[in-house]
Structure 1
Amino acid sequence: MTRMPSAERRRQLTAAAIRAMARDGVARTTTRSIAAEAGVSLSVFHYCFDSKQALVESVITTITDDYVTVVKEALRPRATLEETVRAGFQAYWEHVRAHPDAHMLTYELTQYALRQPGFEHLARRQYEMYGDAYTELIEQLGDSMDFRLSVPVPVLARYLAAMTDGLTLNYLVLGDAAVWTAVLDTVTAHIAGLVVTDVTGREESRPG
């Protein structure tokens, strides 16, 4: 077996776990089946992860980081804030359409963690990560486009996390891809409407 740095081996095992869990379900995926999926011995798994709990956390982090990176790259400043926000939502939406199994897995991971004794904190951490990711995206956009919001950033971050969580599940259940252009346009207009404007109707710069 080719020797790999431990960090690279963990990434390999995490990717194998995502494939196995998406195919077989979280509860039915064992450390042994993950090792087999990755083509390594069980001892290699236990060298990289001291428990299934640690692996589940790595899976949650990897999936979240993957789509956050996609949105970050899409949030390049455009002619207007609304166009920029729309591009970010579009990038996320395209990721959902391209990787429905990975997004479906996130909901299963939440339920699994909530029901599995000792794993409950992973569900909480999963949703904290969603809020942290949106906070970072909002701050990135604020730095590049210089605007002020009518609501605190933590409030908007949690709202966006809840909104995209619900919309994603709605799509996974109902499909109806054709209606999503109008849905994303509506969400974009709402978010853009939270930018504070001055009496002339221009976007007001942040203080300082």
Structure 2
Amino acid sequence: MARMPSADRRRQLTEAAIRAMTRDGVPRTTTRSIAAEAGVSLSVVHYVFESKQNLLESVIEAITEHYISVVREAIRPRATLRETIRAGFQAYWDHVQANPGEHMLTYELTQYALRQPGFEHLARRQHELYCETYRELIGRLRLGMGFELAIPDPQLARYLAAMTDGLTLNFLVLGDAEAAAGLLDMVTDHVAGLVVPEPAGPAPALEDRSRA
């Protein structure tokens, strides 16, 4: 087997784990099935990942990076702030619709971590990562378009993480894409409405006509 840089090998096995877990579910996915999916020996998996916790954390981070990379690309200054925000949400939503199994896996990972003694921190890390991601995107947007918000960035990030988490699950259960699009429009309007208006310039001086 050709030697591969450790970072590339980790990425290869992580992606293989995502495919196996999406297909078979988290509890039924074993290191042996991941090795088979990646086309490597079982010893390679155990060498790269020292524990199942380590493997699951890598899976969580990789799944988040899958969709956040397309959102980063979509969030670039457009004609209006609303258009920019909506484009970011649309990029995320396109990924959900194209990869429903992968997004379903995120909920299964949360439930698995919460039910497995000693794995609870992975569920916390998963949702912390969502909030950190939104904080990064909000910062990029504010830097690129130069605006201030009426609420702190961390508070908005937590709100957006909770909103997209719930909206995604709602779509996976009900499959109503039209309703989801309407909700994304609503959230876009809400976020755009949180921008603090720029202060008006000084009022023009009134002309003194008393000496005319």
**Range class of TM-score, shorter chain:** over 0.9
Structure 2 match to 1:22: 22
Structure 2 match to 1:69: 69
Q: 5 Å matches for 1:118-129?
A: 118-129=118-129
Cα deviation code 1:61-116 (max 9, x no counterpart):
00001111111110010011000000000000000000111100000000001111
Q: Is the 2:167–2:180 Cα contact (8 Å) retained in structure 1?
A: no
Report the Cα offset of residue 181 of structure 1. Answer: 2.6
Q: TM-score, normalised by structure 1?
A: 0.94
Structure 1 match to 2:91: 91
Aligned length: 200
**Partner Cα separation in structure 1 for residue 65 and residue 109 of structure 2:** 15
- Give the secondary-structure state (helix, strand or coil) at the position aligned to 1:29: coil
1:14 is aligned with what amino acid? T
**Partner Cα separation in structure 2 for residue 31 and residue 52 of structure 1:** 9
Report the Cα offset of residue 36 of structure 1. Answer: 1.0
**Partner Cα separation in structure 2 for residue 67 and residue 158 of structure 1:** 18
Structure 2 match to 1:187: 187
Report the Cα offset of residue 198 of structure 1. Answer: 4.3
- Give the secondary-structure state (helix, strand or coil) at the position aligned to 2:160: helix
1:12 is aligned with what amino acid? Q
Deviation above 2 Å: which 4+ runs of structure 1?
178-181
Structure 2 stretches of 5 or more lacking a match? 201-212
Structure 2 match to 1:137: 137
**Partner Cα separation in structure 1 for residue 170 and residue 36 of structure 2:** 34
Structure 1 match to 2:43: 43
Structure 1 match to 2:103: 103
1:62 is aligned with what amino acid? A
2:7 is aligned with what amino acid? A
- Give the secondary-structure state (helix, strand or coil) at the position aligned to 1:79: coil
Report the Cα offset of residue 185 of structure 1. Answer: 1.2
Report the Cα offset of residue 2 of structure 1. Answer: 1.9
2:53 is aligned with what amino acid? Q
Structure 1 match to 2:6: 6
**Partner Cα separation in structure 1 for residue 102 and residue 183 of structure 2:** 22
Instruction: Provide the identity percentage.
Output: 72
Report the Cα offset of residue 5 of structure 1. Answer: 1.2
Structure 1 stretches of 5 or more lacking a match? 201-208
Report the Cα offset of residue 199 of structure 1. Answer: 6.2
1:75 is aligned with what amino acid? I
Report the Cα offset of residue 178 of structure 1. Answer: 2.4
**Partner Cα separation in structure 2 for residue 134 and residue 43 of structure 1:** 37
**Partner Cα separation in structure 1 for residue 167 and residue 181 of structure 2:** 13
Cα deviation code 1:124-178 (max 9, x no counterpart):
0000000000000000000000001000000000000000000000000000112
